[in-house]
Amino acid sequence: MIDLATGVIIGSAFTKIVTSLTQDIIMPPIGLLLGKVDFSNLYISLTGQHFPTLAQAQAAGVPTVRYGLFLNNVLDFVLVAFVIFLMVRQINRIKRNLEKEPPASPTERQCPYCLTNISIKATRCPACTSNVEPEAAHS
The predicted-structure confidence for 111-123, as pLDDT tens digits, reads as follows 999 999 999 889 9
Lowest mean pLDDT among 14-28, 55-69, 101-115, 116-130: 14-28
Closest CA to 34 of 43, 26, 44, 46: 26
- The CA distance from 83 to 118, in Å, is 53
- The CA distance from 130 to 120, in Å, is 14
Residue 139 predicted with pLDDT over 50: no
CATH 1.10.1200.120 fits 2-99, yes or no: yes
Task: Kindly give the interhelix angle for 67-99 and 2-20, rounded to the nearest 10 degrees.
Answer: 130
Higher pLDDT, 87 or 110: 110
pLDDT, tens only, 75-87: 878 887 887 888 8
Q: What amino acid occupies position 99?
A: E
- Residues 41-64: what's their mean pLDDT? 87
Report the percent of the chain where pLDDT is more than 70.
97
User: Which residues of 2-53 form beta strands (DSSP E)?
Assistant: 44-45
Residue 138 predicted with pLDDT over 70: no
Question: According to the model, what pLDDT value does residue 137 have?
Answer: 53
| pTM score, whole prediction | 0.53
Higher pLDDT, 90 or 134: 90
